[in-house]
Amino acid sequence: MTALSQWVEQIAAGTEQGLQDWVFDGEVELKPINGDAGFRRYFRLNTSPALLAVDAPPETEDSEAFVSIANFLRVNGVHTPNIVAADLERGFLIIEDLGREMYLPALLNDGPELLYGEAMMILLRMQQASPSPDCVVPYYDNAKLLSEMELFPEWFVGEMLGVELNTDDRLMIDEAFTLLSATALEQPQVFVHRDFHSRNLVVTDGSAPGVIDFQDAVWGPITYDLVSMFKDCYIRWPRDQLEHWAGAYGDMAVDAGLMPAISKEQFIRWFDLMGLQRHLKVLGIFARLSLRDHKAGYLQDIPLVTRYVIEVCERYDEFQALADWFKRRLLPGLAKFDWYSEYSTAGDRV
**Separation of alpha carbons 187 and 243, rounded Å:** 18
Give the helix/strand (H/E) hosting 100. none
**Separation of alpha carbons 204 and 340, rounded Å:** 34
**Cβ neighbours of 140 (radius 10 Å):** 22
Q: Percent of the chain having pLDDT more than 90?
A: 77
Tell whether the model's pLDDT for residue 26 goes beyond 70.
no
Residue 46, classified by CB atoms within 10 Å of its CB into exposed (0-12), middle (13-18) or buried (19+), is middle
Class of domain 103-345: alpha beta
Q: What is the mean pLDDT of residues 95-99?
A: 91
- pLDDT band for position 24 (cuts 50, 70, 90): low
pLDDT in tens, 195-221: 999 999 999 887 789 999 999 999 999
Q: What is the mean pLDDT of residues 27-54?
A: 82
Q: What is the mean pLDDT of residues 235-263?
A: 97
Query: Which CATH superfamily is 3-96 part of?
Result: Phosphorylase Kinase; domain 1 (3.30.200.20)
Q: Which residue, among 204, 264, 195, has the nearest Cα to 229 in the 3D structure?
A: 195
Q: Are strands 189-192 and 201-202 parallel, antiparallel or unpaired?
A: unpaired
Domain with CATH 3.30.200.20 in the chain: 3-96
What pLDDT is stored for residue 1 in this prediction? 47
Tell whether the model's pLDDT for residue 265 goes beyond 90.
yes
What pLDDT is stored for residue 17 in this prediction? 53
- To the nearest whole number, what is the mean pLDDT of the chain? 92
Tell whether the model's pLDDT for residue 277 goes beyond 70.
yes
pLDDT in tens, 145-177: 999 999 999 999 999 999 999 999 999 999 999
Tell whether the model's pLDDT for residue 309 goes beyond 70.
yes
Q: Please check whether residue 151 is in contact with residue 301, taking contact to mean a CB–CB distance below 8 angstroms.
A: no
What pLDDT is stored for residue 335 in this prediction? 95
Q: What is the mean pLDDT of residues 276-298?
A: 96
- pLDDT band for position 325 (cuts 50, 70, 90): very high
Domain with CATH 3.90.1200.10 in the chain: 103-345
DSSP letters along 133-191, please? TTB---B--HHHHHHHHTHIIIIIIIIIT-PPP-HHHHHHHHHHHHHHHHHHHTSPEEE
